[in-house]
Amino acid sequence: MTTNLGRGGSDYTASILAAELGADELEIWTDVDGFMTADPRVIPTAYTIDSLTYSEAMDLCNFGAKVIYPPTIYPVCVKNIPIRIKNTFHPDAKGSTIRQDVPPSAQPIRGISSIKETSMVTVSGLSMVGVIGVNRRIFTTLANEGISVFMVAQTSSETSTSICMTEADARRACNALDREFANEIADGAMYPAQLDNGLATVAVVGERMKHTPGIAGRLFGVLGRNGISVIALAQGALETNLSFVIDRKQLRKALNVIHDSCFLSTYQELNLFVCGTGTVGGSLLRQIASQRKRLMDERGLKINLVGVASSHKAAFNDEGIDPATYGEAMEAGGPGGAERLRREILDMNIFNSVFVDCTASPEIAALYPTLLEHNVSVVAANKIAASSSYENYARLKQTARERGVKFLFETNVGAGLPIINTINDLINSGDRILCIEAVLSGTLNYVFNTLSAEVPLSRAVRMAQQNGYSEPDPRIDLSGQDVVRKLVILARESGYHVEADDIEKDLFVPDNILGGTLDTFWDRLPSLDAQFETDRQRLAHEQKRWRFVAEWRNGKGRVGLREIPLGHPFYDLAGSNNIILLTTERYREYPMLIQGYGAGADVTAAGVFADIMSVANI
C-alpha cells in the first residue's frame, strides 16, 4: 500500500535510511541555523545551541521548537548516530549537533521552548482520592477521541488532574470526559470538567538540571518577582524538563526573564523607565550613556532605556531608546504626563522593569503603589513618597517585600552619600540608632558658607538657585520643609514611627516672606539682609558659624538654625556638603560620621545610578 508520510516525511525517511545503512552521521538541511536557546522572534539575543542530547532535542521539539520532525530522532538515536542540523540558506553556519555524548553545558539549562496556544482541562472531585483507574479512564477517553496530550499535572492528594492540549481539542475533550464520568458528576462525587483557555506552556530543558539543587527555586523566584503566576507545572523524575503553564499574555515576558536570569543570555538585562529629564534626570541619562558599554563588557549588565518622560513629552520603545539622543525620541514620542506613563508601563509589561523618578512631583509619586503591585521596582530621587504619611511609607515598603521587587530612595537624603544604606546595614545587623545629628541641606549649607560682607543673604540664595543647589523654588529649602522630610525618612529607616508634623521647626525666614508668589518672595527677601549681616559679624567674632541642623534624639526630632562653635564637626563643613553623625549602641562613644557632597545634579544622579545597580544586584 502506498501512503503519504505527511509532515516531516523527508526527515523521517532520511533517519530510517541512516539507521539501516549504519551511517556515520545524519544531516538535516532546513531553513534555520539549528536549535536556538529560545525563539529568536521573541528573544533577539537567543543563540544557536552547538550540541545537545537526543532527549534534550526531543523535549524542545515536543514543546514548539519546530527544527526537525520529532519522530526523526528515534531511528538514529537507538543506533547512536549523530544528527547535524544545517541551514540551506546559510550553509556556512556551524549548525547544531544532536548526539548522546554531549559535553556538559556551561549552564544547567540548554534551551527554552513554548507552546503558545494551550488549553487546560481539569478533572476533579473528592471521590478521586485513592480510587484505582480514574486516570486510566481519563486517558482512555481522550485516546478514543484521538486527542493528544502534551502535559499532565496531578495534585498529590489525587483530587484533580489537569491535562494540557491544543485549543482545537479542548472543548471536545471536556464533552467526552463529562460523558465518561456522567454518573459520578450526577452523584456530586466529581465535578464537570473545567476548561481554561488563553494559556501558554513553557518548557525549560537541560540535562544538567538533573541533581542540580536550586534550579526550580531560581526559576519560580524570578517569575514571581516579575509578577508571572504559574498555573500548573510538571517535572518528571529524570529532571531534564521542567514544564509549566502561565497566562498567554505573560508568555513573552516569561521567556525573556527566564532566558535572562538563567544565564542563557550574554547579558543580564534591566529595562528602565526614567521620569524627569531636568538637571538630575538629564545627568543620569548622560551617565547611563557613558557607562553602558563598560557595564556590558565588565559586568555583563545591559541597561535598556525603554521609556523616558517629562510632564509634557514622552517616548516608549520596548526595543530600547538611545540614552544619548533621548531628547529626539521624546520630541517624536507624543505627550507626557502621569497617566500616560502609568498606562504605557503596565501595557508594555516588560521583564526586569525599573521605574526611576527624578522629579519632585506628587502625581508621579502617587504611581508607586500601582507600579510596585505590578512588580516594577522603583528608584526614587523624589522625596515625597518616603516622607508622606507613615501608613503610605510602610505600605510601599511592604508591597515591595511581598512582590520581591525593590523600593530604593538613597538619594532622598545626602544625594549620593551612603546614608540610608548605612543605617539599613546597622539595623539589619542588630544595632540600634540612638541619635541622629546632621546638616542635610546642601542648599542651606551653601548659602551660609557663601554669606560675606559682599554677598548678603538674598544674593547667596539667588546664587544657590542659579548653581543648581536649590529647588527651582528655593522657599522649599528655606522653609525647612526639605530638611524635615529628610529627617523623617532617616528616623523611619532607623525604625521609628514618625510623621512630618511631629518634627519641631525653628525657622529663620518669617512666614510673611515665604508666603505669596515666588516673585513676591524675591522682592521681600532683601529685607533680611541687614540683620543677617549684623549677626554674621557677631558670629565671626565669636568664632562660630551658622548651620541648619536636623536632630533626632530620645524619639523626638527637631530642625533649626544653630550657632556651631569652632572645633565642632559641623564647623568646617564646606560648600554644599552634608554631614551626619550616627550615635548607636555600638557607636556610642565615637559616633559614626558620614560627610561629602550633599547637593548637585551629578552626585545625585550618581546616587540614583547606584540604586539602579542595587536592583540589578551587581
Give the residue numbers annotated as catalytic, written as ranges: 486
Instruction: Compute the distance between CA of residue 196 and CA of residue 328 in angstroms, rounded to an integer.
Output: 45
Tell me the angle at which helices 442-450 and 457-466 cross, rounded to the nearest 10 degrees.
130
Instruction: Compute the distance between CA of residue 564 and CA of residue 561 in angstroms, rounded to an integer.
Output: 9
Question: Which residues sit opposite 119 in a β-bridge?
Answer: 165
Instruction: Compute the distance between CA of residue 134 and CA of residue 241 in angstroms, rounded to an integer.
Output: 26
Radius of gyration of the chain (CA): 32
Distances (CA, A) of 170 to 198, 230, 301, 458: 12, 20, 43, 77
- Residue pair 413/440 in contact by the 8 Å Cβ criterion: yes
C-alpha cell at 385: 513618597
- Residue pair 498/557 in contact by the 8 Å Cβ criterion: yes
Concatenated DSSP letters of 301-340 = EEEEEEEEE-SSBEEE-TT---GGGHHHHHHHH-B--HHH
C-alpha cell at 552: 533626632
Q: Using a CB cutoff of 8 Å and minimum separation of 24, what contacts does 317-324 make?
A: 318/271, 318/348, 318/350, 322/289, 323/285, 323/286, 323/288, 323/289, 323/292, 324/286, 324/289
Q: Which residue type, as a one-letter code, is found at position 136?
A: R
Strands (E), 135-225: 151-154, 160-165, 194-205
Which secondary structure element, helix H or strand E, spans residue 583, and what is its range?
A: strand 577-584
Instruction: Compute the distance between CA of residue 380 and CA of residue 391 in angstroms, rounded to an integer.
Output: 18
Instruction: Compute the distance between CA of residue 267 and CA of residue 579 in angstroms, rounded to an integer.
Output: 38
Instruction: Compute the distance between CA of residue 242 and CA of residue 210 in angstroms, rounded to an integer.
Output: 11
